[in-house]
Chain A
Amino acid sequence: MQRLAQVCLGFCLSLSSAISTAEPEAVALLERMGTAAKKLNYDGVFTYQMGRKVQAIRIIHSANENGEVERLLSLNGAARELIRTNDHVTCIFPEGKRINVDRRPLGRGFPSDLLSRMSSATPYYAITMGDNGRVANRKAKQLVVSPVDDYRYGYHLWVDKETDLLLQSDLLTDKGQVLESFTFSSINLNVDIPELALKPQIEGQALSWNRNQTEPVSQRRAKEKGLSSSLWQVGWLPEGFALVAEQSRRKAHNDKVVEQRVYSDGLSSVSVFIEQKAAHHHLEGGSRMGAINAFGVMEDNHYITAVGQVPGHTVEKIVRSITMAE
C-alpha cells in the first residue's frame, strides 16, 4: 500500500465515524452468520487448502434445545475424527500413531467466534458487501474484510443467501493471492441428523478435554509464572495489536522454558516466543508455511521468534523491535 494512501486512509478513519469502516448491512450479515453456524443442522463436505495441500473434511452439525453436537472427520489422508459437544471436545487418532495435537482446548469450533473478534477488530478492518456468487451449488453473498494496512491479511467470505451459513472463507494477501481457503463443496442444510451420524466410527486413541473458561489470573501470579516477562520489550506492533495472552511452558522434559506472548488486533494474531539458547540450530531470518510466517533472531543468549498468520514483513518488524530492557 502506498504510504500516502495509508496516511489518507488512516486520516479518514479517524476523522469521522460517519465514514464507517463497517457497512451496517455487512455487520448484520456477519452477526447472522455467527448464529447460523450454531443453530442449524447441516451435513456437508468442505476442503481446507493451504499451499498445495488439500484436505477434505466432512462436517455434521446438529443443534437442539440442549446445545450443539458436531462431528468432523477427515476424508483423505490419515483417518481422524473430532467430536464437539457444547464445551467438550474429543479427538480420535488411529491406533498406534502418537499424534498429540494438543490436549488443551482448541476453541469454539466453527465460525461462531468470528463476530466477537470482528467487533474489536473493526477499526482495523473494513467490512463491506461484495458480489454475489455460488458456493457448493448454492447462492452466496460475499463479505469482504480488508485490513487497513499491509501488516495483516484480509478475508473474503461467502455466506449462504438462504440460511446465512458461512460457505467459504479465503485468506488473502493485499495483492489478492489466496493463501488459505475453506470451501464447502457440498452441503445439506436443514436436515434431520440421526444420532448415529454423530458417533465416532474409527477406533483409536481418544483425547478429550473441556474448552477453557479462562479465569483471569492475578497479575502477580502471572508474573511468577512468566519468568522473564519484564526482561524483554516489544518495541513495535501493528496498530491495534495488544497483548492478549501469555504463558511460559516447559517443552520436552529436556528443554528449557519457553515464554510465549500472544498479540492480536482481534482478528489477526502473532505469537512471540522467547527461549534461552541451547546447543541447537534455530531459525535466523524468515520462513513461511502457506499463510503462516515466522521470523527469528538470536539476541543476548536467547532465541526470539514470532509466528503468526500475518505477512512476513510484519513478523520481521516485530522481532527486530524486541530488546532486552536494561
Chain B
Amino acid sequence: MSPASRSVPEQGMSVDQELVQRVQAGDKNAFDVLIIKYQQRIINVITGFVHDPVEAQDVAQEAFVKAYRAIPNFRGDSAFYTWLYRIAINTSKNHLAARARRPPTSDVDAADATNVYDAPELKEFETPESNLVSDELEQAIHQAIDELQEDTATAIKLREFEGMSYEEISEAMECPIGTVRSRIFRAREAIEQRIQTVMGEGEQP
C-alpha cells in the first residue's frame, strides 16, 4: 500500500479519545455518541450484579451520568471504555450496598438484599420472548452476510469478527481504504434491509 492512500495520520488518536476531548471542551453531543456506542455493553456488565432489567438500566444511566461528571479528570491513561467499565462496576456495587441497607419490605426478596455478586445464570433473566427476538435478529443478520458478495462479506467480517481497522483491512484485501469503508457501508445497508423485514417498522429502537 502506498503511503498516499493512508488517510489515518501517524499519531492515530482513537475516536474515543477525540470524543472525550470534545466532551471535556463542552460538547455534550459528543457524549451521546459514547452512550450509543457503549450502552448495551455497560448494561450487560451491570446485569451481572443487578439482575432486574429495569433496575439495571437505571444503574446504567447513573453510571453514564457519573462518567460525564468525572470526565474532566479522565487523563487517557487507560481506554475510555475501561474507565467507564470501572465506573459501572462501582456504581453497581454501591447500588447493591444501598439496597441492602434499606429496611426490607415484603416485596424485597431476602436473597437480593446482598451486595455480594452472586453469579446468576444469565439465562434466568432472558425471557423466552426476548430470546426469540434476539435469535431471529441474529439469524437475519448472519443470513444477510451470507448473501453478500465476497468482497463485501470479507470486509465486514474482518471488521466485526477480527476487529481489524480499515487500514489493516485495506492491507489484507489489497484495496484502498476508501473501498474498505464503502464495502463495509454496503454490508451494513444490506443487513439493514434484511433486519427491517424481521423487526418490522414498529420495533425500531
A66 within 8 A of B: no
From residue 112 to 145 of chain B, which have CB atoms closer than 8 A to chain A?
A: 117, 119, 121-123, 142
Partner pick for B82 among A218, A227, A298, CB 8 A cutoff: A227
Interface bin, chain A: 20 to 34
A252, closest chain B residue (CB) = B161
The answer to the question of A287 belonging to the interface, with a C-beta cut-off of 8 Å to chain B, is no
Q: Contacts of B45 on A, CB cut-off 8 Å?
A: 276, 301
- Measured between alpha carbons, how far is A278 from B126 in the docked complex, in Å? 13
> Majority SS of interface residues in chain A?
loop
Whether B82 contacts A277 by the Cβ 8 Å rule is: no
Report whether B12 and A221 are in contact in the complex, using a CB–CB cutoff of 8 Å. Answer: yes
Given contacts A223-B79, A226-B79, A229-B82, contact A301 B161 (CB under 8 A): no
Instruction: Say whether B163 contacts A301, CB under 8 Å.
Output: no
Closest-CB distance, A112 to chain B (whole angstroms): 28
- Residue pair A224, B16 in contact (C-beta under 8 Å): yes
Collect the chain A residues with CB atoms within 8 Å of residue B79's CB: 223-224, 226-227, 229
Nearest Cβ on chain A to B69's Cβ, whole angstroms: 19
Interface size class of B (residues with CB under 8 A): 20 to 34
**Contact status A277-B48, CB under 8 Å:** yes
Q: Are B82 and A220 in contact (CB under 8 A)?
A: no
- Alpha-carbon distance A85/B152, docked complex (angstroms): 32
- List the B residue with the shortest CB-CB distance to A229: B82
Say if the beta carbon of A279 comes within 8 Å of chain B: yes
User: Which residues of the other chain, A, contact B48 by a CB distance below 8 angstroms?
Assistant: 276-277, 301
Q: Which residues of A contact B119 (CB under 8 A)?
A: 277, 298, 301
Kindly list chain A residues whose C-beta atoms are within 8 Å of the C-beta of B14: 220-221, 224
Which chain A residues in 120-145 approach chain B with CB under 8 Å?
none
Chain B residues near A226 (CB, 8 Å)?
79
Docked CA distance A227–B79 (Å): 7
Given contacts A220-B13, A220-B14, A221-B14, contact A231 B121 (CB under 8 A): no
How near does chain A come to B195, taking the closest CB pair, in angstroms?
16
Q: Is A52 an interface residue (CB 8 A)?
A: no
B-facing residues in A198-247 (Cβ within 8 Å): 218, 220-221, 223-231
A253 at the interface (CB under 8 A from B): yes
Taken together as a complex, chains A and B put the C-alpha atoms of A238 and B45 apart, in Å, by 32
Q: Collect the chain A residues with CB atoms within 8 Å of residue B82's CB.
A: 223, 227-231
- Chain B residues with CB under 8 Å of chain A are 12-14, 16-17, 44-45, 48-49, 76-79, 81-82, 85-86, 89-90, 117, 119, 121-123, 142, 161-163
Question: What are 22 contact pairs spanning A and B, CB under 8 A?
Answer: A220-B12, A220-B14, A221-B12, A221-B14, A223-B79, A227-B82, A228-B82, A229-B82, A231-B86, A248-B163, A249-B163, A250-B161, A253-B142, A276-B48, A277-B48, A277-B119, A279-B121, A279-B123, A301-B48, A301-B49, A324-B89, A326-B90
Going nearest first, the 10 A-B pairs with the smallest beta carbon separation are: A301-B48, A230-B78, A223-B79, A224-B14, A279-B123, A279-B122, A279-B121, A224-B79, A228-B82, A230-B82
